[in-house]
Structure 1
């Protein structure tokens, strides 16, 4: 079997790269940038006709379906956790249906309720050149994020009451990985983070993990 992940870490590809690193998988990383036409070549479009990264290509034995191609960053991360991890209650893989449900709901929640506005915050507070940033767009996004951050703040408060430091279990799981990869984009909104301290602390705890740091630096460090 062989596993290949396409996409640069400074994209949504960080999600499967982080998951594969947490799982200590042996994989090939194709450091493909979404800018410059790299995802629009005939060869790549044959893998993902949407022309987006990330993509996971999993070469499995014929009796396991043969080649498996996964698009969409959350699907990639969840697939890796489910099919390349052990459901032993130790790693990021859900150990039972309840944990699997948590991983699914928080991943979809992050995409539907948070991602668009968090990306707006990131771009207009940090990434874009100063002259192109529009403070009014960032401010509007931050106002919309108050409600979903309130939801996750309450969940983390409930978890803290049981002694847990993470979102859906007593340990770091793929639920944390997927949700934190999105919420991390909202960190430049300093006031928003100060209003949701448990969320901010949880994000820092997640992205401080060695696997995240290693995945983020793929293709950057020598």
Structure 2
């Protein structure tokens, strides 16, 4: 039996629950979520010394880092969601690393500025910087999707899931992506999948942090 540690409404475990639901495999969810500085159970730290969620246990294998967990699940259990060749596997890893390095931080910051900062805190400069950083990766994905339905071609795969699981913050951040027509169509298609329910229910309205420095410890 697979066990997924992490509250799907408060941690990146929602990405992994999406994958588990897509592949239709039975699993147990332990809905852990830790506030910064909170004491963590010794049994959990024995599994993941980083003390963060999600963590996945599949028999003797213990994995952490949500996108890596999803790539493993897709390859081992995912059928058509997983790679059908070494080339596809490389592309799935490429796009998963891409969204983590190019998109996630400025997108999460934009959502935080819009919803979590103290009322009337001056954030215009930070918002402008985050939006400028997002324009290039959004343009890159838009161009890539011009002649294909999904990232790898004509089928939904782990690459789409991993990228969309990060980009689901676009509507939360109230970013207008109407000019990115292919990307918008693709993201809506991904998030409309029934298995994406946990990503769609993420609870971003948590107690207000003081500044952007407090944001990135929240969804771990």
The TM-score normalised by the length of structure 2 is 0.83
- Equivalent residue, structure 2, for 1:64: none
2:165, 2:199 within 8 Å by CA — same for their partners in 1? no
C-alpha separation in 2, matches of 1:14 and 1:215:
5
Cα displacement (A) at 1:169: 2.5
Residues 73-111 of structure 1, C-alpha deviations (whole Å, 9 max, x = no match): 11011111111222xxxx311222222122111000001
1:122 aligns with 2:124: no
- Equivalent residue, structure 2, for 1:98: 87
C-alpha separation in 1, matches of 2:16 and 2:94:
18
Pick aligned residue for 2:166 from 182, 185, 207: 182
After the TM superposition, which of the residue ranges 71-80 and 197-206 deviates more from structure 2?
Answer: 197-206
Gaps of 5+ in 2: 203-220
Which structure's relative contact order is higher, taking Cα pairs within 8 Å and 6+ residues apart? 2
1:18 aligns with 2:3: no
C-alpha separation in 1, matches of 2:133 and 2:88:
28
Cα pair distance change 1:132/1:26, threshold 3 Å: farther
- Equivalent residue, structure 1, for 2:128: 139
- Equivalent residue, structure 2, for 1:5: 4
Cα pair distance change 1:133/1:80, threshold 3 Å: farther
1:56 aligns with 2:56: yes
Cα displacement (A) at 1:206: 0.8
Cα pair distance change 1:3/1:215, threshold 3 Å: farther
1:9, 1:216 within 8 Å by CA — same for their partners in 2? no
1:15, 1:178 within 8 Å by CA — same for their partners in 2? yes
C-alpha separation in 2, matches of 1:143 and 1:14:
27
Gaps of 5+ in 1: 60-66, 160-164
Cα pair distance change 1:183/1:214, threshold 3 Å: closer
1:142, 1:189 within 8 Å by CA — same for their partners in 2? no
How many correspondences in the alignment?
201
Secondary structure, counterpart of 2:56 in structure 1: strand
C-alpha separation in 2, matches of 1:56 and 1:133:
39
- Equivalent residue, structure 1, for 2:76: 83
The TM-score normalised by the length of structure 1 is 0.82
Cα displacement (A) at 1:19: 0.5
After the TM superposition, which of the residue ranges 46-55 and 194-203 deviates more from structure 2?
Answer: 194-203
